[in-house]
Amino acid sequence: MSAPARASAVRAVPASPIAGTRHRPLPIPSVRLVGGPLAVWQQRNGEDTIPHCIEQLEVYGVLDNFRRLLGESDAEFRGLVFADSDLYKVIEAVAWEIARTRTRAFDSWLDDVIALVARVQEPSGYVDTWIQGVAPEKKFAALEWTHEMYVAGHLIQAAVALVRADGRTDLLDVARRLADLLVERFGPGGQDGICGHPEIETALVELYRLTGERAYLDLASRMIDLRGHGLLPVGSLGAHYFQDHRPVRESTAAVGHAVRQLYLNAGVTDVFLETGDDSLLRAMDAQWGSAHDRKMYLSGAFGSRHRDEAFGDDYELPSERAYAETCATVADLLWTWRMLLADGRAGAARYAETIEREVHNALAAAVDATGTRFFYANPLQLRRDHHSEENAPRERASWYACACCPPNIARTVAALSAYVATVADGALWLHQLADAEIDLPAELGTGTVRVITDYPADGRIEIRVEGDVVPGAELSVRIPGWSPRSTVVGPHGPRGRDGDGYARVPLEPGARYVLDLDLTPRLTTAHHRVDALRAAVAVERGPVVYCVEQADLDAPLDVDDLAVLPAPITVGERDTLVLTCRVINAAGGLYGPDTATDFGDEHTVTAIPFSTWGNRAPGPMRVWLPRAPR
């Protein structure tokens, strides 16, 4: 096989706007996570998770779905209608892994699978193995459920990533042919069509960014304009389910299937970033408030309902029935990053802190210590006799019949360094506090910013500036909301947090700055309208949410009978915390007279980071516990 075509690798980062934006991302190769949990995770992702995903694509027949169309496999079609997207997400993960490490380990696999996709592609540009192999009569004829454009979107994103990461253009050729078909069929003057599962919108904008072909951006805009006018036949889950209940510009509440809403919002924000259409940003500002001020789990997860994998009402946030799909957190991370680039109303610090919460909690909890077992749903509580459900097993599974989540983790973790820093206003902005080495973008100099820290295990963050820097350049460091009085201390004294949540210091060669964050464990409560969390507390330390797992309790202590005393919490071994609790003695029956709760013996109880739960025998777990009176 001849070597694939390669263009020069440029903007090796997801979501790289070409219109002028205040915040501009840095390419993945120039932001290297060196040590600490995120670097360890990326390493495991590259060595264990991505190879595991590649293996599962074979085990679950995803590649055979292509081969059978070429007469190279006798297998029946397997998986859901959007099974192809699993392959494309794994390709995207590989692309960012190449950007990060320059690995060549996946090249021959890429050669094979890209050739496979190219050979299955029809002369028209169409490629979708379920339609082609199972139901050709449904081609573009049942957009509400076929996921054809969703699948196309992931193909396009993978192709864009491969060009950006490695200059490799063979999948791009496939993607463009498919995108051109979509433009021809659904572009201006064509069929009014939108996909039941948004995703194509953000992909088309990315393809526009890479190619400069305006028709892709216009198609994304058109699909956003068309949504909310009842184009999709309504099934039993209602028009809210796929956000077709109201025009995008009038949709101020996050509703329906959480992943669909959040992917849609990423696409809408992408279109705003390239067109500057303020009416889109206004809707996204309202949506972001809805999702994050009233519908987000403490872990940075979304979706309160199992039935339709949907957002609940405002403040409907049950812990045990949190659906909290891994993909919804991935989608929100992608959207929230775009809101940061869009300079949305909530402000960069809030967006960055949300991404930090998501990465260290919901996303980290979705994968086990080996990198090969995954949660799809991420509840914040497991009761004793809870039985597994489809997509919501009691324990992490090595794969799912609906395998959207594992490859989504893989592509997100491989690209994590994309979300660490931006350049804006003549400054390097440090949004995520991780042990890292950052090459300055040309406009700020040719030097390097080295961040040295054990954060979030330790609150000390040292920043060294090395090399040549443009005079007047600054460094903006995010000071987290839970440590507001911390300062960045350097040659010119301490600098506190500005109103926007960042402390600013000169970006001086040779300078050494130290930020000491207050990692005192703290008790958190929820808004009084969250009925599920009334009179309950969660324990947080820095950005890390904790939980109590039955595995850490000696009989007869039961995690469901513990109440947390508002006493100082100490740090134990290996990131654990030690709480003081009292045992609640149960009153008689299920319902009874309004008598005072009977708080019994005091015990010390170990809490572990929520991200690490379920790595021992499966058993009860709680993030939120009742508050005991002092």
**Spatial distance between the Cα atoms of 422 and 438, rounded to a whole number of angstroms:** 10
Q: Which is nearer to its own copies, 554 or 594 (CB)?
A: 594
Q: Which is nearer to its own copies, 319 or 408 (CB)?
A: 319
Q: State the nearest-atom distance from the C-beta of 484 to its own copies, in Å.
A: 12
Q: Which is nearer to its own copies, 202 or 304 (CB)?
A: 304
Indicate the pairing of strand 436-439 with strand 536-541: unpaired
Which burial class, exposed, middle or buried, applies to 29 when counting CB atoms under 10 A from its CB (0-12, 13-18, 19+)? middle
Number of Cβ atoms within 10 Å of the Cβ of 94: 29
Instruction: Name beta bridge partners: 450.
Output: 437, 464
Amino acid sitting at position 127: V
- Closest by CA to 125, choosing from 172, 168, 67, is 172
- List phi, psi (to 5°) of 137: -70, -15
Q: Which is nearer to its own copies, 21 or 611 (CB)?
A: 611
Q: Which is nearer to its own copies, 442 or 591 (CB)?
A: 591
**Spatial distance between the Cα atoms of 410 and 406, rounded to a whole number of angstroms:** 6
- Closest by CA to 86, choosing from 103, 65, 108, is 65
Instruction: Name beta bridge partners: 489.
Output: 494, 514
Q: State the nearest-atom distance from the C-beta of 431 to its own copies, in Å.
A: 20
Q: Which is nearer to its own copies, 187 or 289 (CB)?
A: 289
Dihedral (Cα; 58, 63, 69, 75), 10-degree rounding: 20
Distances (CA, A) of 308 to 157, 242, 251, 303, 325: 26, 10, 19, 9, 11
Q: State the nearest-atom distance from the C-beta of 622 to its own copies, in Å.
A: 9
Q: State the nearest-atom distance from the C-beta of 63 to its own copies, in Å.
A: 24
Q: State the nearest-atom distance from the C-beta of 50 to its own copies, in Å.
A: 28
**Spatial distance between the Cα atoms of 92 and 104, rounded to a whole number of angstroms:** 15
Question: Which pair of tokens denotes residue 627?
Answer: 């508050």
Q: Which is nearer to its own copies, 47 or 560 (CB)?
A: 560
Q: Which is nearer to its own copies, 182 or 564 (CB)?
A: 564
**Spatial distance between the Cα atoms of 539 and 231, rounded to a whole number of angstroms:** 46
Contacts with its own copies by CB under 8 A lie at 236-238, 240, 253, 255, 292-294, 296, 298, 304-308, 312-316, 318-321, 381, 383-390, 522-538, 560-561, 566, 584, 586-587, 589-595, 597, 624, 626-627
Question: Which pair of tokens denotes residue 484?
Answer: 């507001």
Identify whether the C-beta of residue 479 lies closer than 8 Å to the C-beta of residue 467.
Answer: no
**Spatial distance between the Cα atoms of 569 and 604, rounded to a whole number of angstroms:** 10
Q: State the nearest-atom distance from the C-beta of 587 to its own copies, in Å.
A: 7
Q: At what angle do helices 278-293 and 326-341 cross, to 10 degrees?
A: 140
Question: Which pair of tokens denotes residue 487?
Answer: 């300062």
Q: State the nearest-atom distance from the C-beta of 618 to its own copies, in Å.
A: 14
Q: Which is nearer to its own copies, 233 or 566 (CB)?
A: 566
Q: Return all residues near 479 (Cβ < 8 A) that are at least 6 apart.
A: 349, 486, 488, 496, 497, 501, 502, 503, 515, 517
Q: State the nearest-atom distance from the C-beta of 326 to its own copies, in Å.
A: 18
Q: State the nearest-atom distance from the C-beta of 511 to its own copies, in Å.
A: 34
Which burial class, exposed, middle or buried, applies to 512 when counting CB atoms under 10 A from its CB (0-12, 13-18, 19+)? middle
Q: Which is nearer to its own copies, 472 or 568 (CB)?
A: 568
Q: State the nearest-atom distance from the C-beta of 560 to its own copies, in Å.
A: 5
Q: State the nearest-atom distance from the C-beta of 343 to its own copies, in Å.
A: 21
Instruction: For the sheet with 427-430, list strands across it.
Output: 24-25, 421-424, 427-430, 474-478, 502-506
Q: Which is nearer to its own copies, 115 or 402 (CB)?
A: 402
